[in-house]
Chains A and B, each alone.
Chain A
Amino acid sequence: MSYSPEQISIMDSIIARYPRKRSAIMPLLHFVQSISGFVTPEGIEKIAELLELSTAEVTAVSTFYTQYKPEPVGEYHVGICTNTLCAVMGGDAIFDAVSEHLGIANDETTKDGKVSLERIECNAACDYAPVVMVNWEFFDNQTIQSVKDLVDGARTGNPPAPTRGPKTLRTWKENSAVLAGLSDGLAGEGPSAGHASLLGLNLSKEGK
């Protein structure tokens, strides 16, 4: 596939945000994912051309960060934290149960293309452990059942709302566009800091 003039002009506008072209590599990789769902060879070649980098240099960046996917992922990419705290709080159990429930292993996608599964590293939300992220939106204090419900909802096109963040869960491609710096206008929607994060602050305000 080749990129449309509209898509190219969006890429140019992303590049124009930076004093040096090459700085735009990461948002452009997200932009490529917002179109194709993963980092395609065409995307790498286009980014290399636009940023005057070699294709190898673009490959180096896109393979370094696990957020850039070399293969298509699901419309809802489910990341289950299995770092220490989440793991002992139930993350490992959730992963195993959901993996069996969906019949897919780590880094695999369901046949309908709706859901993919990944063991992810810490998302800085240990106070809500075990944490699951779908398309990088937080689902806090999860249980096996809640995540099963989550993925079942996702497969029927009716996923529950994230605990924090926007009121409706956006797709992988839609959120990739946000990461590319293209606002969907939802940044202010829903809570950001939750109860557990603010507990200490509130206690200190109460003078306790």
Chain B
Amino acid sequence: MTPENAVMTDVEMVTVVIDGFDVTVPKGTLVIRAAEKLGIQIPRFCDHPLLSPAGACRQCLVDIEINGRAFPKPQASCTIPVENGMIVKTQLTSEVADKAQKGIMELLLINHPLDCPVCDKGGECPLQNQAMSNGRSESRYEGVKRTFEKPVSISSQVLLDRERCVLCARCTRFSEEIAGDPFITLNERGALQQVGIYEKDPFLSYFSGNTVQICPVGALTGASYRFRSRPFDLVSTPSACEHCASGCSMRTDVRRGKTLRRLAGEDAEVNEEWNCDKGRWAFKYISSKERIAGPMVRGEDGELHEASWPQALARAAAGLKGKRAGVLVGGRSTVEDAYAYAKFARVALNTNDIDFRSRLHSDEEAVFLASRGVNFNVSYRDLDKADHVVLVDFEPEDESPIVFLRLYKQVRKRGLKVTTLSPVLSRGSEKLGAAIVEDIASISGLSEKSVIVVGERAAEVIGQFTSVVKLAQSTKAKVAWIPRRAGEVGAVVAGAIGNLLPGGRPVADPAARVDIASVWGVESLPAAHGKATWEILEAAGDGRLDAVVIGGVDPLDISSEALGQLLGASTFVLSLEISHSAITAIADVVLPVAAVSEKSGSFLNWEGRPRFFEKAIADSLTRSDLRILSMLADEMGTPINLPSSQAAAKELQSIGEWDGAKADAPSVSPATLTAPSGDQAILHSWRQLLDLGTLQNGEPNLAGTARAAHVLISANRAKSLGLSNGDLVKVSTARGSITAPAQIGKISDSAIWVPRNSIGSQCIANLGAASGLVVTVVKA
């Protein structure tokens, strides 16, 4: 336990008596929470520890007296804070409280259908459970129950059965207080009161799935899980989310070898009890039809053919052994898999040409990562306590949603000051009340309690990392690097990049190389600075490399030429993939690997906090990347000895953190951009949370809530082009164009913004670049 976690002594404590027992709790604690401390469970529906008290369901009524004066009627224990001298009697010691609770339960059940046998919530339902524990065994109600048309789609992924609702307002409070998306409200009144949306505006919140999880009855259900399973048929495994670097704790529910749903896990330090809809619902890619069933080898006919593992491994080994090869890891590897790639590159391929960055990247970024080391010393708690948070090329709601929720919580609670270095005020920034700054030099008001959050897109701006480091040095502010993908932080620590060995050891440092060589039991390690992703691709294209080993990589994430470069100069391509992709289509050997739910391992989230997960699909026969790399290294006669993720984790842990000198911070001068004129504008883009990302495949309900592509333009540009909201705009480069409806918003006059990888707007494929480019903008 950290000192911050310890009970603080300066908090005023209050002692109350509940059911005859004394309990001492901090002033302000609600009666229902104080009772929990004694192990006394008061039934409840609307109460939720992370939401503001509502007193909406009235189920938690108890008898209360203070200093000898009793309340005339039972009170809702979820809305009343404890006071000194308070005596509380719950249903356990007060007949009045017990009768009041039973009465409320009877009232709630009057209009509640008895459809538990077909309800998704049946078997894990607080209403069902508490009706048994705190209600009558038989209904006395003989009238006709109120019915509603059912279900109502409040979005493509959330369905509402209004007759089941007990009007606890958990969902509406969550949407407003936690997500900042008040798109569902309690409408109408009296017997017709119901949760609803405005008819034209569906519940398009990135966090909508949490309302399904916290609904204490079966009123809100997820379209993809509805009627699919009974909770008691599911086997649950604690897991970690593979979608981003927020690092959510999760629970994966599997029935007979198939994942049926995923829920947010509880971790007060990270995701509290929430997650985003991508983490919750984007898991169907595992069971895609494109899934690769077994190893494949390209025959002389130019087609891929199924092969046995020994055949495929032999072919792969022949293609790699003694050759000049590079390794592209992809950003989604577990720490253990990334470590295996890092070791494989050095031991089996004798090269530092390895890079996990499957996106736009720069040398400056690699230097920044090396100079930062692997002990980041910045966490969610620093965001909680910060006096000022600066976002640099980072959109938390799209790129790391739990970071957004944590920031939003502080913005709501205490008006946390947020500044974003961006020409665009996004919806997320608007919710955070962020101030826009277009020039890093004009950021002020930073102290040692401030945090500068720099996103992966900083690599797209020459000199940005240099400026960030300088700003942090001059203000003593902390720097957090929050990449989008879940595997990137772990890959840095594992040494899956050309300038770093495991534990943050600089490749350039001979002592660091000796360190690692001795652990790995090899004579020496390659000393040359490794190539970055773009250099590996270029070298593959012009014949300076003979072979490339590629993990989970989409070439269009990197550049429009990447795929062509891999095809050139008869490079040998080994692909380790889950599903068929642009890479497997050109690979010489394809080896199928396990998805996250089919293996155990860990990610490091942006804080560097390990997020362990167990194998959720217990009977899966797929092999993880590290197992395959280990077999391949054996076949090549250069073993890496990593038979399991446990072995890899143990070995990486034994290596430990580098205690020698770190690389110097980057020193790159910013480029001066020429101001665009007339029809021209500077292109800006980022990936929206829900888009065409590979891991979102196969889940149309989720895709239905993605924000549609649009071109964000300033009011002045709209005026000069004669455009109104919704008119089509064409954004073009020499390579191609994107045409989408205009949205007039808060963006610099010299810039335009489009989503980077959404339907109808794929920057790299359509325009040949994703940011910083001068594009032509005209009315379509």
> Contact residues of A with B, CB < 8 Å?
41, 44-45, 48, 53-60, 63-64, 66
CA distance A60 to B189 in the complex (A): 9
Pairwise interchain contact A59-B187, C-beta atoms closer than 8 A: yes
Contact (A59, B189) CB under 8 Å given A54-B182, A54-B183: no
| B664 lies within 8 A of chain A by Cβ | no
Which residue in B181, B188, B189, B200 is a CB contact (below 8 Å) of A55? B200
Pairwise interchain contact B185-A60, C-beta atoms closer than 8 A: yes
Pairwise interchain contact B188-A57, C-beta atoms closer than 8 A: no
Pairwise interchain contact A56-B188, C-beta atoms closer than 8 A: no
CA distance A182 to B153 in the complex (A): 40
**Max count, chain A CB within 10 A of own CB: residue among B184, B188, B196, B198:** B198
Which residue in A56, A60, A66 is a CB contact (below 8 Å) of B201? A56
Pairwise interchain contact A64-B198, C-beta atoms closer than 8 A: no
Q: Which residues of chain B from 668 to 716 have any CB-CB distance to chain A below 8 Å in the complex?
A: none
Pairwise interchain contact A54-B201, C-beta atoms closer than 8 A: yes
Pairwise interchain contact A56-B197, C-beta atoms closer than 8 A: yes
CA distance A44 to B201 in the complex (A): 12
Pairwise interchain contact B189-A56, C-beta atoms closer than 8 A: no
Which residue in A45, A54, A58, A64 is a CB contact (below 8 Å) of B189? A64
**Max count, chain A CB within 10 A of own CB: residue among B181, B196, B201:** B201
Minimum CB–CB distance from B187 to chain A (whole Å) comes to: 4
CA distance A60 to B188 in the complex (A): 7
Which residue in B181, B187, B200 is a CB contact (below 8 Å) of A60? B187
Give B183's nearest chain A residue, CB to CB: A56
Pairwise interchain contact B185-A56, C-beta atoms closer than 8 A: yes
Pairwise interchain contact B188-A64, C-beta atoms closer than 8 A: yes
Q: Can you name 11 extra interface pairs (CB under 8 A) apart from A53-B182, A56-B198?
A: A44-B198, A48-B198, A54-B185, A55-B201, A56-B184, A56-B197, A59-B198, A60-B186, A60-B187, A63-B189, A64-B187
| B659 lies within 8 A of chain A by Cβ | no
Pairwise interchain contact B200-A59, C-beta atoms closer than 8 A: no
Of all A-B residue pairs in the complex, the 9 with the closest CB atoms, nearest first, are: A55-B198, A60-B185, A63-B187, A56-B185, A59-B198, A54-B182, A56-B198, A63-B188, A55-B201
Pairwise interchain contact A54-B188, C-beta atoms closer than 8 A: no
- CB<8 Å pairs between A and B, sample of 28: A41-B199, A44-B198, A48-B198, A53-B182, A54-B181, A54-B183, A54-B185, A54-B198, A55-B198, A55-B200, A55-B201, A56-B182, A56-B184, A56-B196, A56-B197, A56-B201, A57-B182, A58-B198, A59-B187, A59-B196, A60-B185, A60-B186, A60-B187, A63-B187, A63-B188, A63-B189, A64-B188, A66-B189
Interface of chain A: mostly helix, strand, loop or mixed: helix
Number of chain B residues whose Cβ lies closer than 8 Å to a Cβ of chain A: 15
B196 neighbours in A (Cβ, 8 Å): 56, 59
Minimum CB–CB distance from A65 to chain B (whole Å) comes to: 8
CA distance A63 to B182 in the complex (A): 16
Give A65's nearest chain B residue, CB to CB: B189
**Max count, chain B CB within 10 A of own CB: residue among A45, A53, A57:** A57
CA distance A58 to B197 in the complex (A): 10
B186 neighbours in A (Cβ, 8 Å): 60
A48 neighbours in B (Cβ, 8 Å): 198
CA distance A57 to B685 in the complex (A): 31
B185 neighbours in A (Cβ, 8 Å): 54, 56-57, 59-60
Minimum CB–CB distance from A203 to chain B (whole Å) comes to: 36
B187 neighbours in A (Cβ, 8 Å): 59-60, 63-64
Minimum CB–CB distance from B146 to chain A (whole Å) comes to: 17
Pairwise interchain contact B189-A41, C-beta atoms closer than 8 A: no
B188 neighbours in A (Cβ, 8 Å): 63-64
CA distance A143 to B197 in the complex (A): 43
B201 neighbours in A (Cβ, 8 Å): 54-56
A63 neighbours in B (Cβ, 8 Å): 187-189
Minimum CB–CB distance from A20 to chain B (whole Å) comes to: 15
Pairwise interchain contact B197-A41, C-beta atoms closer than 8 A: no
Minimum CB–CB distance from B160 to chain A (whole Å) comes to: 13
CA distance A41 to B183 in the complex (A): 15
Q: Which residues of chain B from 172 to 193 have any CB-CB distance to chain A below 8 Å in the complex?
A: 181-189
A64 neighbours in B (Cβ, 8 Å): 187-189
CA distance A201 to B189 in the complex (A): 38
B189 neighbours in A (Cβ, 8 Å): 63-64, 66
B181 neighbours in A (Cβ, 8 Å): 54
Give A54's nearest chain B residue, CB to CB: B182
CA distance A88 to B196 in the complex (A): 37
A57 neighbours in B (Cβ, 8 Å): 182, 185
Give A48's nearest chain B residue, CB to CB: B198
Q: Mark B369-406, 1 if CB is under 8 A from A, else 0.
A: 00000000000000000000000000000000000000
Minimum CB–CB distance from B205 to chain A (whole Å) comes to: 10
B184 neighbours in A (Cβ, 8 Å): 56
CA distance A64 to B182 in the complex (A): 17
Minimum CB–CB distance from B174 to chain A (whole Å) comes to: 14
Give A60's nearest chain B residue, CB to CB: B185
**Max count, chain B CB within 10 A of own CB: residue among A54, A56, A60, A64:** A56
CA distance A156 to B285 in the complex (A): 68
Give A59's nearest chain B residue, CB to CB: B198
A45 neighbours in B (Cβ, 8 Å): 200
**Max count, chain B CB within 10 A of own CB: residue among A41, A44, A45, A63:** A63
A56 neighbours in B (Cβ, 8 Å): 182-185, 196-198, 201
CA distance A53 to B183 in the complex (A): 10
Minimum CB–CB distance from A189 to chain B (whole Å) comes to: 33
A53 neighbours in B (Cβ, 8 Å): 182
CA distance A2 to B189 in the complex (A): 29
A58 neighbours in B (Cβ, 8 Å): 198
B182 neighbours in A (Cβ, 8 Å): 53-54, 56-57
B197 neighbours in A (Cβ, 8 Å): 56, 59
CA distance A20 to B189 in the complex (A): 25
Give A66's nearest chain B residue, CB to CB: B189
CA distance A44 to B200 in the complex (A): 11
Give A55's nearest chain B residue, CB to CB: B198
A55 neighbours in B (Cβ, 8 Å): 198, 200-201
A60 neighbours in B (Cβ, 8 Å): 185-187
A41 neighbours in B (Cβ, 8 Å): 199-200
Minimum CB–CB distance from A112 to chain B (whole Å) comes to: 29
Minimum CB–CB distance from A162 to chain B (whole Å) comes to: 28
Minimum CB–CB distance from B338 to chain A (whole Å) comes to: 42
Minimum CB–CB distance from A49 to chain B (whole Å) comes to: 12
CA distance A55 to B197 in the complex (A): 8
Minimum CB–CB distance from B577 to chain A (whole Å) comes to: 42
CA distance A54 to B199 in the complex (A): 12
A66 neighbours in B (Cβ, 8 Å): 189
CA distance A41 to B197 in the complex (A): 13
Q: Which residues of chain B from 189 to 235 have any CB-CB distance to chain A below 8 Å in the complex?
A: 189, 196-201
